[in-house]
Structure 1
Amino acid sequence: MTASSAPVASVRDISKTFGQRKALNGVSVEVGQREMVALIGPSGSGKSTLLRSITGLQTIDAGPGVIEVFGRTVQKNGRIAGDVRKTRAKLGMIFQQFNLVGRLSLFSNVMLGALGRLPFLTGLAGAWPQADRERAMAALHRVGVSDYAAQRANTLSGGQQQRGAIARALLQGAQAILADEPVASLDPVSARKVMEQLVELNQRDGLGVIVTLHQVDYAIRYCQRVIALKAGKIAYDGPSSGLDRPTLIEIYGPEIEDAFWEGDPT
């Protein structure tokens, strides 16, 4: 299999233990290129642990488990690959708390997406090439926040910051987007705008997208495929249209009423 045809993520028989608790228990899943996949499940189900393991930000247990991204090994046998930074460069990672540097302008935060391909001293000095500056402004314009390019990131709303994080991933040249609860801290209007941006990256740019969501209605509305975890195991993997109420009750149990942002559509 060539890198161009390799799946965004291939996860085989991985587990992760925290103390006495199995956060992941023999999980295997594959996400192909151009897919938009939601990871859902009740609190503590393992969805964020799975996403962080795919990026190599969380080590898995020693054993048979292997994680590959675009055909490159991220980790196996509980060890992170030595060249994991090269693999991460293919992934645009978006987090619940935005991960922007608050004292820097939104433009400067987006420019940080270019660090991986620039000489260290160039990036350190902020001597950004003109072509990258233009690409950064184009990315900010695309996500609708170019008017705020000069503002410090910590003066912006959560939705504006999150769209800035998406612009940073665009400048990075990411081949896939991994987003961990990207709308959890946002109001519903801002959340919809962020989800629409992720859908556009998937449909227009052909980027694979894996996004963890607490809101089941958003998973059904915006993602074609849903993977649900429960107690560290895969409880559902299929089309979002297959998530009927009995299935969701089986997944969420007593938390079912908290799993919808805008009302239970089922």
Structure 2
Amino acid sequence: MPDAAVLSIRKASKSFGARRALDGVSLDVRKGEMIALIGPSGSGKSTLLRSISGLQTIDPGEGVIEAFGGPVQENGKISSGVRRTRTRIGFIFQQFNLVGRLSLFTNVALGSLGRIETWRGLLGLWPEETKTAAMAALARVGVADYAGQRAGTLSGGQQQRGAIARALVQKAKIILADEPVASLDPVAARKVMESLRDLNRQDGLTVVVTLHQVDYALRYCDRVIALKAGKIVYDGPANGLETKQLIDIYGPEFEDVFWEGAPK
């Protein structure tokens, strides 16, 4: 793994039947980067993110995925030590992945389960450190006022910020966010992206986020990686991505639907 790289992917492929979702993908992610993964539906964005976290295996062969200098998976098998690695990786799902019947506070406190006895979490007997961390995290993302409310009664944007707070309580060093704003209205989406950018800039957390909204990728992320048919077709600064390249990635209809501030 190169110096300062917290994630390293080498020749990773993943097939679903005859379809190849990832096709020999290689890339490094350096500490403190905020990266957008973009590309059309089916390009491999979510598959890559889930493979990095060990939620999904890559194909057997020479593919290797490492995090923090240790293996997550190789040769199509998850590493035996992946559980420890996962405690340092927060995963933000598109559909929030909160337990609706539990309070927002409890959902966020669950982020500490990797460091405390499981029975404490099951009984709600949270250590003072967890209580303090959970409330601080909720305040950080602007939803502390809803701590006692059942998660299922909150808006999508509030739940997604709760999911980010849970990653903070987890003490994650890397946040992987899979289409975190796909189901949100524009105002809620902006608040979620601003929360992720704040954690990146103020706390130095490494953030990798998959996005369908190219304008958000260009606005909030410094580096953009574009996938098409399972291959990386662009990897560079957000301000280096030109409209012509985006049309090559998404097709000729892209120019008709892209926002007014598209790069020229």
- Specify if TM > 0.5: yes
Contact 1:6-1:33 at 8 Å conserved across structures: yes
CA distance in structure 2 between the aligned counterparts of 1:102 and 1:133, rounded to whole angstroms? 20
Relative to 1, partners in 2 of residues 1:174 and 1:259: Cα closer, same or farther, differing over 3 Å? farther
Q: Which of 168, 172, 176 pairs up with 1:174?
A: 172
Q: Name structure 2 gaps, 5 residues minimum.
A: none
Tell me the secondary structure at the aligned position of residue 203 of structure 2: coil
* TM-score, normalised with respect to structure 1: 0.95
Tell me the secondary structure at the aligned position of residue 66 of structure 2: strand
Q: Which of 241, 248, 265 pairs up with 2:262?
A: 265
CA distance in structure 2 between the aligned counterparts of 1:7 and 1:258, rounded to whole angstroms? 38
**How much does 1:141 deviate?**
0.8
Deviations 1:88-119 (A, max 9, x none): 10011101000000000000000000100001
1:11-90 paired onto structure 2 within 5 Å = 11-90=9-88
1:98-137 paired onto structure 2 within 5 Å = 98-137=96-135
RMSD of aligned alpha carbons: 1.5
CA distance in structure 2 between the aligned counterparts of 1:44 and 1:26, rounded to whole angstroms? 16
Contact 1:6-1:71 at 8 Å conserved across structures: no
**How much does 1:265 deviate?**
2.2
Identity %: 69
CA distance in structure 2 between the aligned counterparts of 1:134 and 1:48, rounded to whole angstroms? 33
1:120-159 paired onto structure 2 within 5 Å = 120-159=118-157
Q: Name structure 1 gaps, 5 residues minimum.
A: none
**How much does 1:193 deviate?**
0.5
**How much does 1:8 deviate?**
2.3
**How much does 1:235 deviate?**
0.5
CA distance in structure 1 between the aligned counterparts of 2:98 and 2:255, rounded to whole angstroms? 32
CA distance in structure 2 between the aligned counterparts of 1:264 and 1:61, rounded to whole angstroms? 39
* TM-score, normalised with respect to structure 2: 0.96
CA distance in structure 1 between the aligned counterparts of 2:68 and 2:25, rounded to whole angstroms? 18
Contact 1:42-1:255 at 8 Å conserved across structures: no
Give 2:201's aligned residue. Answer: 203
Contact 2:243-2:262 at 8 Å conserved across structures: no
Within the alignment, does 1:97 sit opposite 2:95 as a pair?
A: yes
Q: How many pairs does the alignment contain?
A: 263
Q: Which of 235, 239, 262 pairs up with 1:237?
A: 235
The residue identity in structure 1 corresponding to 2:26 is S
**How much does 1:207 deviate?**
0.5
CA distance in structure 2 between the aligned counterparts of 1:240 and 1:59, rounded to whole angstroms? 29
Give 2:191's aligned residue. Answer: 193
CA distance in structure 2 between the aligned counterparts of 1:112 and 1:219, rounded to whole angstroms? 30
Relative to 1, partners in 2 of residues 1:27 and 1:199: Cα closer, same or farther, differing over 3 Å? same
